[in-house]
Amino acid sequence: MILFKKTGDLRRWIEQQQISGNAIGFVPTMGALHAGHISLIDISKRSCPVTVCSIFVNPTQFNDPGDYQKYPITIEKDIALLEAAGTDALFLPEVSEMYPDGITNLETYDLGHLETILEGKYRPGHFQGVCQVMRRLLRLVRPDDLFMGSKDYQQCMVVQRLIHLMDWSIRLHRCPIVREPDGLAMSSRNTRLTPPERQRATAIYQSLLALRSGASLTIAEKMLTDAQFRTDYIAICDPETLEPTTPSPNSIALIAAFQGEVRLIDNLQL
């Protein structure tokens, strides 16, 4: 695996791949990698001759400065995991490399209602930050295929919108959620849970399963409260628009809730 820290070096390597006719698969991450991230690398490797991963904890997408400061960093372990998975190139830039003119007064994007509902409502500015970093990464890597996790369901919709706004032909693949044996969706933030919090955290998945079995939102929310979660939202939505809807096999249930200091999200198609 080749490690790049500078945009110019990565750009030259990408151009060589393009001249050789190699389609590029891209997996952007914030590091502290787990099996969920590696599943994206595996899916990319099955579809594309070249797989590029990035690790960059993007400051502009954190609406909570404490969350940014405490974001787990495990670079040595990440590099070993990516190498074992057969990743071709890792881009590991500094903040100044991604934002040479600083991180204030950056461009904004018209994200429509996606910015005011669910994650958009509870994390103001978050999706602008996601678009700011994704625009820079995608312009640099110019992937044919982009692999993202459906755990961040609304983020996938936002990035799809960015691709549309930029008139790019990148194919976005929404990949399945990888879970721990007890159902908790894998997340870099899980490492910040204390052992009792980690045990209680499984209530998110239990609550989603209850909704799938026909439980009301009130009952599902009580399951979260009983497990000491503070719920930002629990909603049943149309999978295309994320507008609230009545439960149906096609609808999707989404949850964001705090266990202690750690905010977790998850979703399940009903």
Give the residue numbers annotated as catalytic, written as ranges. 37
How far is 119 from 128, CA to CA, in rounded Å? 12
Looking up tokens 């899916």 gives: 43
Looking up tokens 């979660």 gives: 229
* Residue 159 exposed, middle or buried by CB count within 10 Å (0-12, 13-18, 19+): buried
| Residue 216 CB, nearest approach to ligand AMP (Å) | 27
Q: Does residue 70 contact residue 44 with C-beta atoms inside 8 Å? A: no
Sign of CA dihedral 240, 245, 248, 252: positive
* Residue 65 exposed, middle or buried by CB count within 10 Å (0-12, 13-18, 19+): exposed
For ligand AMP, the binding residues (CB under 6 A) are 29-30, 36-37, 39-40, 148-149, 151-152, 175, 177-178, 185-188
Alpha carbon 211 to its chain's center:
23
Identify which of 119, 65, 74 has the alpha carbon closest to the alpha carbon of residue 264: 119
Q: Does residue 254 contact residue 241 with C-beta atoms inside 8 Å? A: no
Contacts of 243 (CB under 8 A, 6+ apart): 113, 117, 237
| Residue 181 CB, nearest approach to ligand AMP (Å) | 13
| Residue 192 CB, nearest approach to ligand AMP (Å) | 13
User: For the chain, how many helices (H) and strands (E)?
Assistant: 11, 9
| Residue 20 CB, nearest approach to ligand AMP (Å) | 27
Complex with ligand AMP: residue 147 or 219, whichever CB lies closer: 147
DSSP state of 239: T
**What is the token pair recorded at 48?**
């594309």
Q: Which amino acid is at 219?
A: I
| Residue 81 CB, nearest approach to ligand AMP (Å) | 12
Identify which of 186, 137, 146 has the alpha carbon closest to the alpha carbon of residue 27: 146
Complex with ligand AMP: residue 177 or 211, whichever CB lies closer: 177
